[in-house]
Amino acid sequence: MRFRRMAAIAAIVAVVGATSAALVPPDPPDRLQPMPALSTRALAARYAADSAAIARAASTARQAGNAELATALTKMDGHHFLDFNPRGNGLAVEIVGNLARAKRVAILVPGSDTSLTTFGSRGSASPAGAAVALAAEAHRLDPGSHLAVIAWLGYAAPSTFSPGVLTSGDAMQGANALRPFVKDLASDGRRVALLCHSYGTVVCGLAAHHLPVTDIAVFGSPGMDASSVSALHSPARMWACRGTADWMKFVPHLHLFGLGFGQDPTAAAFGARRVDCGAAGHSGYFRRDGIALRNLAYIALGEPGSVTR
């Protein structure tokens, strides 16, 4: 109880910092490239172009003395990127699986502290590692499925210790980038699911309005900037979970002076389908052999009856 009161006070005190930050216009966010034709040939061309861009960015980072970023970029070699931009904290959209043949697509939307440096450096706690883990688990559960998994860093994610993480400004930029991306994927019949973590759940909440997705799963969420599932105006099945070891349970779900994101999506009043995520910690939802990973894979596969609740 004392922790919750302290967290609430900290949020209120941060109003001044957040308000001051809001008065300074941010640099215009870099935008994702237009979606290519989702054919084998067009995708191969995009992957090759982004691979070359990643190699150039790694070389530039190395020359600038940024060894951590250079190492992270070098490790991306040989992967398939639908988008890449090295400016600022960077944008990256990685494909795991055969997107040209995919009938279902799961998009992982990460939260705060995600950048090019951390995109694949933290195992399954990073977007790239989580995508690999999810694809492997989905294949284990249903070897015949045509699922592609996308690790989507299509927005400038805020730092955990910045005023931006308390407001929806960065999330709105992310939502504005996510909507057309999803619509392009779904336009030719692919069935799309959003799997959203931490601050990324705010992005998904703001993007959800009539978005053509079958499922939205949120985990480790501070709120979705919505009071209930009905307030999202989404046709999707809405899922929510929080692992018993996730520190997010101590964070007050408030909306005060423009700070915070409202109702806890795992609360009964929100109206989402609860998902069993076991003992997952805040960064542990895609750990191998975890209940959370299995259930998120079933959601990605479009098998709601197999999800344990």
Tell me the pTM: 0.89
> Is the pLDDT assigned to residue 92 strictly greater than 70?
yes
Work out the angle between the directed axes of helices 291-301 and 127-141 (0-180°, nearest 10). Answer: 70
Tens-place pLDDT, residues 182-231: 999 999 899 999 999 999 999 999 999 999 999 999 999 999 999 999 99
Round to whole Å and give the CA distance between 300 and 194.
8
| Domains, the chain | 2-306 (3.40.50.1820)
In this prediction, residue 264 has a pLDDT band, given cuts at 50, 70 and 90, of very high
Mean pLDDT (the chain, rounded): 89
- What pLDDT does 273 receive? 98
β-bridge mates for residue 109, sequence order: 196
Query: Which two structure tokens, joined as six digits, stand for 229?
Result: 């599932």
284's CB contacts (< 8 A; 6+ apart) are 124, 125, 243, 245, 290, 292
- What pLDDT does 298 receive? 98
- What pLDDT does 31 receive? 77
Round to whole Å and give the CA distance between 116 and 229.
32
- Of 245, 237, 225, nearest to 295 by C-alpha is 237
Other CB atoms within 10 Å distance of the CB of residue 1: 5
Residues 216, 194 contacting (CB under 8 angstroms): yes
Q: What is the DSSP letter of 79?
A: S
In this prediction, residue 119 has a pLDDT band, given cuts at 50, 70 and 90, of very high
Round to whole Å and give the CA distance between 193 and 178.
12
Round to whole Å and give the CA distance between 120 and 73.
9
Round to whole Å and give the CA distance between 98 and 47.
12
Q: What is the DSSP letter of 288?
A: T
Q: What is the mean pLDDT of residues 114-121?
A: 95
Helices (H), the chain: 2-22, 40-63, 67-74, 127-141, 169-186, 200-207, 291-301
In this prediction, residue 257 has a pLDDT band, given cuts at 50, 70 and 90, of low
